[in-house]
Structure formats: C-alpha cells, structure tokens
Amino acid sequence: MADIIKLLPDHVANQIAAGEVVQRPASVVKELMENAIDAGSTSIKLIIKDGGKALIQVVDDGVGMSETDARLSFERHATSKISSAQDLFNLETKGFRGEALASIAAIAHVDMQTRTSSNEVGTHLKIEGSKIVSQDVVATPKGTSISVKNLFFNIPARRNFLKSNQVELRHITDEFHRVALVHPNIEFHFYNNGSEIFNLPIAKHRQRIVHIFGSKMESRLVPVNEETEVVKVSGFICKPEFAKKSRGEQFFFANNRFIKSPYLHHAVVAAFEGLIKSDTYPGYFLFLDVDPSSIDINIHPTKTEVKFDDENTLYAILRSTIKHSLGQFNVAPVLDFDHDPNLDTPYSYKEKGVVIPKVTVDATFNPFQEAPTKKNTGNSFRKQSTKGWEDLYEGLGNQNDHNEFSSVVIESESEEQGTLYSDKDVEEHLASTFQLRRKYVVSTVKSGMLVIHQNRAHERILFEKFLGEITVKEGVSQQLLFPLELTFNKQELAVLQEIKESLTNIGFAFQSLEEETVKVTGVPMMVPESGIGTVLDRLIADYMEGYADSSISQAEMLAKALSRNLAVRTGDVLDQESQLTLVNNLFACKEPTLSPFQKITYTIISEGDIDKKFN
C-alpha cells in the first residue's frame, strides 16, 4: 500500500487553526485588543465597520515592533511571551501561543503599521491570505495599528454563517466589555461606522463599570473584598433587588483574564440564596487573583475556560465572601434581638425639629351645661336623613363573593376567529370547563377529555397575534397619559434601536431614544402600564441571549419573546369565561398543537383510556 500521510501546506494549516481561534469578528477583536494590552498600551482605539465584516482596526500606543519582529509575528507559533514549556505554568500575559495573528492573516486582508520608540520610522506590512503582499518603510506614531479587512474572504462558507451586522456588533461589544472592565488603567475608545459608542477614560473599577453600564449601576453595586492565602477576591456584586430574569452583567476575571466558570457562578448564586427568586440571576463583577501556577488556562483555544487546582476551597471562600459583603452593607436581612423598635423615630419625623407642644385650657368649660343650639350655616355639618339607606346596598347580596381582581381575564379576539372545531376529535360545543391545579383547563369532548396547558396555549395564541401585527403593521396602541421614562445602558439602547420598527408595529410608541433614557408614550393593549419596564427588560434580554443567533426572523423572535413574557402563568386563576375564550382562541390558531417553543399545548384522554383505569 502506498504512503498516504502527507504534511499539510502552511496556508491550509493556518486556515484550520483559524477555525479554532477565529469563530467570528468578535474573536479577532479579542485577540488584537489582548495583544495591545500585552504591548503595554495606555490608550487603545477599536474601529468597526459593518459588524466587523468590512473592517476591524485596533490602534494602540504600546512598545511597537521592529521590522524583523513585525514580519515574524505572522508566523505560526512565533511569540515573545514564552520560551520554554515551564513558562506555561507561570503565565501573566494575555496571549502566548503565537497563533492569533497567523490565523487572522490566513482568512483576511491584514494591514499593519508599527514603530518602536527607538526608531524614527516604522514598518508597513500588507498580507492577504497568509501571503505577504508588500513590506515598506512608513512614518507612523509609536505603537501598532492593525487593520483586518474582508474577514473570511477566501472561505465563503464561513462568511455565510456570520449573522447580521447588529448581531455581530453585539458580540464585539461583549468582548470589548470583557477587556475594558478588567483594565481600568487603560483608556479605551470604541467607534462603529464612524460614530463613537464608548469613550472610557482612565478610572477606578467602580467608575469603569458605571461608564460602561450607565449611571443607574452606581446605586446597585456592593463592594466585595477578601484576601486569603488561596485567593484574593475583589470587585462588586449587584443588590438582590436588581436580580434579572436572564443572565445579564455577570463577569468573572482570574488574574486579569475573563473566564467562564459555571461552578463558581453556582457559588455566587448560593450566596444569594433566600434573597432572590429561584428563576432570577444576580449581577456581579468579581476579580480573582490566584497563584499563576495553580491555574491552567491552556485547555481551550479561546482561553475563557480554565482549571483551578483547588476549586472546592475557592467555591467556599467565594460564597462566604459574598455573604459577608451582603451582611456587612446591610443588604441581607438580619434580626437584632436587642433592638427595641419602640425607640425608632418614624421616617416622616426624622428630619423635623423639636417643637414644644402648646396646651390651651378653656376656663369657662362646664360639662354640666347644655350646649347652645347653633343655627345651620353653609359651612356647618347638617344632619342628613337616613331614610332609604338600604337602597345603597341593593343587589350586593346576589353578587359572587369571589374577588374578581385576583383572577386573570382573557379577552376574546373576535367572533370571526373561529372555534375549537378545527380538529376532528374536538367537534362538539363545550358546555363547561374547569381549571385543574391552576395549571390546566379541562373540558369534555366527543372522544373523551380535553386537557389544555394554559401557559403554553396562551403563548401560542399571543405568538400568532403578535406575529400577525408585526407583519401587517396593524398593532393597536394604548396611549399613556404621561410619558414613561426608562433608563437603559448603551448596549440595551442599541438593541432597542434595532427592534424599534417591529415594536412600533406591535403597538409600542417611543417619543425619544436618547442616551440612557427612553420615553415611552404608548404600549400594546396586552401590556399593563406598571409592567412596561419589566417587559422591555425581558424583551431585550431574550433578544441578546440567543434568539437573534438562531435562524428565525426578527419578527418571529419578538413575537416569541413577547408571548413568553405576557402569557398567562401557571398559578393564575381563570374564570369560566376566560377558560372558554382560551380554548376557542387556541383552536382558531394555525398550529394549535404546539407552543412557539415546540412544546405540546393540549392532550386528549380518550374514554377508552379512562375505562382502562377501572378494569
């Protein structure tokens, strides 16, 4: 048999490595910014065009590179960070494998200008698909400027898998946050399509967090600080009342490197036990300083997954440290058995001064003397006739004692929507329904018993309703008497700008979307005024968390998110009319059997199955 194993050409090997290192434009941003930090920069500029597909440029004022170093930096496994295998266990830099620039140059057009402080002129390199096109001498400031253009130009299949510009920009923004948060001693600038998104001056950690996530974050942060022989924990956690339904501002940094650790995340959640709901997540910005030899960061190409030597001890320290901070800053509820609540000053009197009470005595008062009869005047109280007082309460005795405000009423869409007779097994009119465990709506049908999951059924109804309104642009808006002002950070505002048109079609009306402030003047009929902020928060979180990464359209994604947030919940009480409306509206849908999230909405238990239970 002939020899069949061959060595791969360098350009093929580089493209394979690029598949591990460069997954999307955000991966390029991460590698280039980390290289700029390793170069000792004090100011870094990130310039993006078309979600990073057309241009990714990082400009720094670091040490720069000589002509030879500039050429070698694009070779595979060429690095200045390590020289022996032992150095892998004592890493203090961001990059070390020497694969990033070689991988990026293999699948893009790269333009680099660099100069050291000791040289009067710099080096200008142009590379296309691992091939050096030109190398010239150029006048350039000290530091390095790298431009990556036409990402995946020679791998069309990879380029086709990229998402929209807005989605890719959001991933780039996430990477920018991760780098900027851990380096408050560096000035960062972020430009997208010619407009400045972030201008972060040199500041402390708390100020950097506020600059990125908005001024509303200032009052939410609780400092965390603990130093032990194993680890030094510092940073901030968000107060329990600001826990979110989705994973929001949650950042772990180990030795100034962003990491993902479900195990340590569980330690944080455990520390908040009893303070937040089980389906919410706390926000945190935690920095862990450990011995470099006790952590392995070389287990994944992106270097975000790490392995600690003693995770159990780290878990216990982190959990107790957060609990201590919550109690130290009076965030966690405490019981003080020595405290006498009778000595507390009422809140409304805390700021009032001491006033001596004035006492007046009527010297002519005689309790045995009859009071003189006063004439009726316009300002005096007159005795009212009590005749006919029973009429005020007429009819109240016949009303149901049930509190109508404790139940959820589902309004029927219209009489033309149809009935539930679209399925041949469901052919007869429902005489009655009842609610089981505040979770299911049960009724009898011709073939047996119909059991409907009220939450999933209502999700399907709302999904088709909202999807139709977005498509036809006929959403009904309920105007607010006074505009409602809501606060969002820059990333959340960018999402709102992206989906504003679809929200308007549903029924939302926005007066302005300015920096950190959104004025809402109208909402869909289904959204209560008190829940506008919550609905928009969850909508933005759902959009950022993954719906936009799937193959569904923006309209379908928004309809899914709104239906999930506005549907009847398990535990809600439905009156008889609402139950009938739910059933009829469900079977008027185009796809009544499945919820928008592909879960069964109802089942029919046949009479034969019931008879078998009694055999």
Which pLDDT score, from 0 to 100, does residue 505 have? 85
Which pLDDT score, from 0 to 100, does residue 185 have? 94
Q: What does the block give as tokens for 483?
A: 């505009």
Does residue 368 sit in helix, strand or coil?
coil
Residues 192/465, Cβ–Cβ less than 8 Å: no
Neighbours of 46 (CB within 10 A): 27
pLDDT tens per residue across span 89-125: 566 666 666 678 888 988 899 999 999 999 999 999 9
Q: What is the mean pLDDT of the chain?
A: 81
From the list 99, 86, 38, the residue with the least C-alpha distance to 257 is 38
> Which CATH class for the 10-200 domain?
alpha beta
What is the rounded CA–CA span in Å between residue 21 and residue 27?
7
Side by side, which strands form the sheet with 131-138? Answer: 131-138, 122-128, 109-115, 143-149, 55-60, 43-49, 187-192, 195-200
Distances in Å between the Cα of 133 and the Cα atoms of 67, 105, 110, 244 are 15, 12, 10, 51
Beta strand 232-238 with 221-227 is antiparallel
What is the rounded CA–CA span in Å between residue 273 and residue 267?
10
Which pLDDT score, from 0 to 100, does residue 303 have? 67
Residues 282/318, Cβ–Cβ less than 8 Å: no
Distances in Å between the Cα of 338 and the Cα atoms of 342, 343, 409 are 12, 12, 48
From the list 246, 189, 150, the residue with the least C-alpha distance to 42 is 189
Q: Which amino acid is at 27?
A: S
**Which option is the CATH number for 205-328: 3.60.15.10, 3.30.2320.50, 3.30.230.10, 1.10.3210.50?**
3.30.230.10
pLDDT surpasses 60 at 403? no
Mean pLDDT of all residues in 527-539: 82
Residues 76/17, Cβ–Cβ less than 8 Å: yes
pLDDT tens per residue across span 267-288: 999 999 888 888 788 999 999 9
From the list 183, 176, 223, 218, the residue with the least C-alpha distance to 202 is 183
Which pLDDT score, from 0 to 100, does residue 534 have? 81
Q: Which amino acid is at 244?
A: K
Confidence label for 538 from pLDDT (cuts 50, 70 and 90): confident
Contacts of 384 (CB under 8 A, 6+ apart): none
What is the rounded CA–CA span in Å between residue 521 and residue 526?
15
Confidence label for 512 from pLDDT (cuts 50, 70 and 90): confident
Residue boundaries of the structural domains of the chain: 10-200, 205-328, 409-605
Given the structure tokens 């003693």, which residue do they identify?
310
The structure's pTM equals 0.71
Neighbours of 16 (CB within 10 A): 11
Task: Taking each helix axis as running N to C, give the angle between helix 165-182 and helix 205-213, from 0 to 180 degrees, rounded to the nearest 10.
Answer: 170
CATH number of the domain located at residue range(s) 409-605 in this protein: 3.30.1370.100
Cα-Cα-Cα-Cα torsion 435, 439, 443, 449, nearest 10 degrees, comes to: -140
pLDDT tens per residue across span 452-501: 999 999 999 999 998 888 888 777 888 888 888 888 887 788 888 888 88
Confidence label for 404 from pLDDT (cuts 50, 70 and 90): very low
Mean pLDDT of all residues in 551-556: 74
Side by side, which strands form the sheet with 602-606? Answer: 433-436, 440-445, 448-453, 602-606
Confidence label for 421 from pLDDT (cuts 50, 70 and 90): very low
